[in-house]
Amino acid sequence: MEMRPDDSQMAAFEAGIKLGALYHQFTGSPLNLQNVDSLEKAIAESISVQPFVEEINVNINREMIASKLNGEFGYCELEGKMLSVALQVIHGDIRIRASMAYNKELDYPLMEINEVESLS
């Protein structure tokens, strides 16, 4: 059986686009404790200009940065594992809450849908 997508699937699709975009646009950015604030802010504001984004919160793990700083050069790179992202998108009358966070057990920056909310 084949169907056209409904609002909940389209909202989920849009949430996925934003997290995939965020990850592959910004990981690799040179980083230490001096510029983490401005990088967090720029990532959140950049993704928030994309369609259907209601809210986004981006946190980069300072402890991981500190532990990854190169001994000789004093910086590291933004890695997926360092990112905690909370995202809300709205499509039609559906709001999706999704997130990215490091899952220690899987050793993986896991992206997930946390909630599907009907606004009507």
Q: Between residues 51 and 63, which has the closer beta carbon with respect to its own copies? A: 51
Q: Between residues 45 and 55, which has the closer beta carbon with respect to its own copies? A: 45
Q: How far apart are CA 93 and CA 17, in angstroms?
A: 19
DSSP three-state, residue 96: strand
111 is in an annotated binding site: yes
How far, CA to CA in Å, does 56 sit from each of 29, 42, 48, 53, 104? 19, 12, 7, 7, 23
Token pair for 91? 């499509």
Judge residue 102's burial from the number of C-beta atoms within 10 Å of its C-beta, 0-12 exposed, 13-18 middle, 19 or more buried.
Answer: middle
Site for its own copies in 45-104 (CB under 8 A): 45-51, 70-75, 77, 80, 96, 98
Site for its own copies in 10-49 (CB under 8 A): 10-32, 34-35, 38-39, 41-43, 45-49
Point out which residues bind its own copies (CB under 8 A).
Answer: 1-5, 8-32, 34-35, 38-39, 41-43, 45-51, 70-75, 77, 80, 96, 98, 106-108, 111, 113, 115-118
